[in-house]
Structure 1
Amino acid sequence: MYNIKEQFLLNPGITFLNHGSFGACPKPIFESYQQWQRDLEAEPIQFLTKKYYDALAVSKQMLAAYINCDAQDFFFLQNPTTAINQVVKSLGLKQGDEVLTTNHEYGAMDKTFDFYSKKYGFVNRRQNISLPLLSKEQFIEEFWKGYNERTRAIFISHCTSTTALVFPVKEICDRAKELGLIAIVDGAHVPGHVPLNIKELKADFYTGTVHKWLLSPKGCTFLYVDKDYQNSIEPLIISWGYETAMPTKSKFLEENEMQGTRDATSYLTIPAIMKFFDEHNMKERLAACRQTILEQYPVFCELLKTKPLCKLSGEFSGQMCSIPIQTENPFQLKETLYNKYKIEIPVMQRAGETYLRISYQVYNTPEELEYLKETLQQPELGLM
């Protein structure tokens, strides 16, 4: 099989094991992106008023088919943090209300809920999910211990950032529906990484990036909103789509898609992405990556004299794994790994614990993992 790494723009001098943070865009998709940018500059007026919206409709239809939802039920924006800010501002939460979440959420999301909880007076309840995660039943039981009569919404990661765990969000969303709660899901790491079926999941709000595991250029994220909430979600920016004189689509899409002058050409690369996935047998390659993580996770844990954060069944993991480590200076460890050994890998902290997170994407190789093992045994790193 040919070396797919040649299809990416990554620096060949770096062992890149951090796809999870910002992704990496293949050459053909990036070339599509640049062509759209050239089209924009060639005819700015025609592009921004006509061509863009026609191309956007095609992109949305293709992504909708991939994640299984209606193309009229989502819009694009730059990142999940922006999406969740928009959602929280629109919920109408007030003094005495509570949002139930976990202690594994992404830091920017924690900050978002903290900010608005102080502003509006609601409680952001972070329920402890103990590790290792051994069963769905364990997670579900621990999560719902945080529920009470004041709970109005739940917020949960589909796949966590720091601990790299896939949570049983369908079961949580199903229970939330039974309790009459608003279900908000942060799926930043999911599209192109973990199977996603929006219709089956039944979340009220779901945000996922296209620029991580789906390989688009940076700044491409979708926010899905269930039809029951589309008239109540407020646009972050009031622009020409607000009370437009000649509406051509729903108020929900008019207000959130018509935002004036901006370079949104990354949103138009979905056809190039789907072509790349088809031409390079990505389904099989991604399955192989997940299998590699399953096999290598316990090996790295044994090397570093620690234990995996979940049951090794594939139920709670994808193409990432986080290894608990002991280090006196996490920042210095990360800098040394990059500056001396040319390994790009995150060293992350949560609740007093430190983790080394490995992402294994299609361009990575077994040799790179062996190099990482050798490097982690260097005495200067203090990990052995």
Structure 2
Amino acid sequence: MTRAPIPHRRGGGFSVVELMVSVVIGLLALMFATRLVVSSEQNKQAALGGSDSMQNGMLALFSISSDAGQAGWGLNDPLVAGCDTVFNDVQGYALAPAARGAAVVRPLAAAVIESNGAAPDRLTLYSGSSMSGTGVLRVTRDYAGEADIVVERVPYGFALGDVILAAPLTAGAARCALAQVALDPRLQAGPPAAQALNIATGTAFRFNAAGGLGVNYTNGQAALFNLGPAATLSFHTWSIRSGFLQLRAADLAGAASTASTVVDNVVSLKAQYGFDTRVGAAFTPTSGLQVGRWSATMIDADADGVVGGAGDYQHVAALRLAVVARSKNPDKANASGVCTSSTVAPTVFASAEPAGVTPAPILLNVAVSGDAVDWRCYRYRVFETIVPIRNAGWRPI
């Protein structure tokens, strides 16, 4: 008996060739999807980095320019502006140093710039808060370190805890000095011999030191100014450290001796003085100041032969400010391991403002000390503004 042959049937499923084609197509799809996701993430990171730097830079510039707009209040008298000043603070705030010829002084002025070339500057802005602004008392006796400063009249407008500023009646004849009223002046009211302001030491009077003002005045050749309550004395120093904008402030608890961080990822702060270069009879500050020259350092603006003299600070008409903020996260390097997000360091103050005034551009160093990531891996935004020193023109005649 012969058995009929069984017909050959093809097995179910995919052939090896079909499987290989499917795998290749899947890998290609996965590769394109991965590239799409990576590209999307990079674009997202760049957008977020730009948003971070925009927000941080604007906040930093707004904070500093707001300070600059008030700078000089109560310090705009020619006897005071630029005066080398003795200052003591038990909480540790110190006045900014500045060059005056070959000497180093600590001047009271609207602004003091400690210029650092391509590196971040340190900017100090001073102002008082007394509503009297330029109220003055004359000292009527020799002063040689006593706790009581005898004055010409009942010290109306001066209150317990107010910060007073002593200045020589002849500019440059002696140093200025700051102290704090330690006894309610109403308790010392009486005959002229008893009219005085007391600056004794005490735990509540942080600006008072043993030995009084630290400056002697003879023949009553001194005047006293009221800068307002100690709690609102706006002595602020702005600086950059390790990519953070920092502030030392006499009126901010805990920030007098050690700077407090204000904004992160701010890598540079630059400032320039705008000098009114008119001299002699042509210099009429009460009729308005005008910028004739920008400089990061002091110049002999009043042509008295001394660079950084008190008169030079009185010729400062405006401040030119710039801050540079960077993205929070660095971009990735290219296939060669080189970052190209920023190939050229930022330059500030390159435009001629006001019109006709020659700019003094500065090429910045935005590398952060201690940061292992190359500065070229970050994206940067530059913010600039010009702030008039309005209180410089509102000075007594």
TM range, smaller chain: under 0.3
**TM-score, length-normalised on structure 2?**
0.23
Indicate the structure with greater helix content: 1
Indicate the structure with greater strand content: 2
**TM-score, length-normalised on structure 1?**
0.24
Q: Which has the larger radius of gyration?
A: 2
**Higher normalized contact order (CA 8 Å, seq sep 6+, divided by chain length):** 1
